[in-house]
Amino acid sequence: MVIAATVMQKQNAETTQIGGTGQQSLEDARELSGSQILCEALVREGVELLYGYPGGAIMPFYDALTEYSTLRHVLVRHEQAAAHAADGYARATGKVGVCVATSGPGATNLVTGLATAYMDSTPIVAITGQVARHFIGRDAFQETDVIGVTQPITKHNFLVRKIEDLADTVREAFKLALGGRPGPVLIDVPKDIQLSKTQYSLSASVNSRECYRVTRTPEVSTVAIAQAVKLINKAECPIIMSGHGVILSRAYDELRAFAEKTNIPVITTLLGLSALPDSHPLNIGMPGMHGPAHVNKAIGTADVLIGVGLRFDDRVTGKVSEFAPHARIIHIDIDPSEMHKVKVATVPIVADAKDALAALTMAVNPADHRSWINEIRSWETRNAELASNVKRDQQYPDPTSILEAIRAETNGEAIIVTDVGQHQMWTARHYTWSRPNSHITSGGLGTMGFALPAAMGVKMGIPDTPVWVVAGDGGIQMNIQELATLQQQGVTIKVAIMNNGYLGMVRQWQQFFHSRNYSETPITGPDYVKLADAYGLTGMCITRREDVSAAVHKAMETEGTVIIDFVIESESNVYPMVAPGSAITNMIEEHVEENSSHD
């Protein structure tokens, strides 16, 4: 070990200090424990917040943590919430989110959060304690093969086998998490490595070919751009489909510039919402299973589809063979593995969305597609007229009135964090998005229980911005214990629960596809006003539509976290809806359902 440490010192002495002011010499090296080195490495990466829960195998790290005042640790009430909070922090700030857990059940409790981040390309570094090296593989107390468990749901994971590798592993993990297509990375640190000591200096010696390969940004192909430009210039009914990659690359200006120069209508996927303001005349809405009919019809009619930073998820495409059947597809994505995975691209462009859109904008001709846009808007108007004739309940708060009140009270500047279910789709469809990156949700994995802890991470990452949770009465109960964390940390978010007494989206599917056999979907919950009071927070229960705006106003005026229990109509449905296995142009629409129910 001494020999290895000496070699490391010599290597480090020849490299530039990361985040420092100059060269490091051998005299700068100090003898530190593995836990201290782990803390030093996190400080070097600019980490400010960690979400975690201590335990036996990670205890040495927590012992060292008290020496580092710049590392603020947030004690969650469940490790899954630590991963979701790190996820929310990363999505809001663009930085790497960090979560910490002990071995065994602590590490496995991170799994859902890591899978959520993996599916939605969120940069997270998870640090887990592990039993001492000589116990590994012997079924020791709280031992789990977390490397094996998380391999399919992380971008990369590391088991640290030597203390000399610890600092470099942390450095590489952060590079991997952020580079290329972002994603979660896990570092598993045995307890004896945390306790042992070696020489350490601030310099880094990472020179990993694998790290470079995974983190480098591919260059935009001039050949592919030229091929794409030919298709775009000749298109008569083109569509831009903007996905999460536009958000991740912060390509808002590039998307707008490209759309405006070409005069091509833009649709935004669930995770792409807010990349282009809803008020922009070229923004026509969200596609897919719950997208408005005019958007899905436009996809079915388009002759060129430009997909930017997306993976053609099944909730967007519906029956793949009937998705954009007349369109030649230009697919832009930083991850080459996404090309041709679902839809064969006529022109694949493997590149960062920001770079590719800028290159296309420079190369394309200005165009006029007013007649195409007017046709889409005429479909939209017709559908709106049909929907306006549907009789609706006027007593209970309805989702649209709740969302409109939140937007009005916050002037559209709030970040909305949704859970998963009907409320998620209502929010995606009916909230008016204007602030970039103001919509945060679990898209790929569809994780109930995501919103409350993720919103905590969002708020702590950008504390001056109002943050609202929109959740259902099912999902909110999955991580409701984090109300205690919010109260202890003094974090202020506002929570709107759309409470219909059901697992609403499952019930809706049971209504349409299982003859209204509502098997195990009715659900009860606590008195949220009393629950809020028990946690030292503020709660309200709203049962009348006329009281919605006043309640939202009061919540914004009230200091601290506020929970509003909006009791909505029990069998409200999300319309339109595409049946599983159907083409997205074959939709179940509200006016059709309402008319047929009176036949």
Catalytic annotation, pick one of 155, 175, 191, 459:
191
Among 155, 148, 158, 104, smallest CA distance to 127 is for: 158
The candidate with the shortest Cα–Cα distance to 226, out of 347, 367, 352, is: 347
- What's 254-266 look like in SS3? HHHHHHHHHCCCE
Q: Which residue among 505, 540, 577, 587 is the active-site one?
A: 505
Angle at 279 between CA 278 and CA 281, to 5 degrees: 105
520 is catalytic: no
Residue 40: active-site member: no
Query: What is the C-alpha separation between 84 and 225, in angstroms, rounded?
Result: 37
10 Å CB burial of residue 384 (0-12, 13-18, 19+) is exposed
Give φ, ψ of 193 to 5 degrees: -70, -35
CB neighbours of residue 449 within 10 Å: 26
Residue 594 burial (10 A CB sphere; 0-12, 13-18, 19+): middle
Q: Which of 79, 172, 254, 590 is catalytic?
A: 79
589 three-class SS: coil
The widest CA-to-CA distance across the chain, in whole angstroms, is 87
Among 23, 67, 141, 151, which one carries the catalytic annotation?
A: 141
CA distances to 24, 88, 290, 422, 473 from 497, in Å: 54, 19, 21, 11, 6
Contacts of 534 (CB under 8 A, 6+ apart): none
Listed residue (190, 218, 179) closest to 61, CA to CA:
190
Separation CA 439–CA 418 (nearest Å): 8
Which DSSP symbol is given to 219? P
Q: Which residues pair with 285 in a beta bridge?
A: 267
Residue in this structure with the two tokens 């949220």, named with its chain if needed: 528
Query: Catalytic site residue 141?
Result: yes
265: tokens are 């209508």
Name residues whose C-beta falls within 8 Å of residue 143's C-beta, 6 or more positions apart in sequence.
103, 104, 130, 131, 135, 136
C-alpha–C-alpha distance, residues 238 and 360, integer Å = 14
Rounded to an integer, what distance in angstroms lies between the CA atom of residue 222 and that of residue 362? 12
In the chain, helix, strand, coil percent, each to 5?
45, 20, 40
Active site annotation includes 142:
yes
Task: Single out the residue of 594, 595, 589 nearest to residue 576, CA to CA.
Answer: 589
DSSP, collapsed to helix, strand or coil, labels residue 69 as coil
Which of the residues 11, 17, 59, 142 is marked catalytic?
Answer: 142
**Residue 172 bears catalytic tag:** no
Could you list the active site residues?
79, 141-142, 191, 505
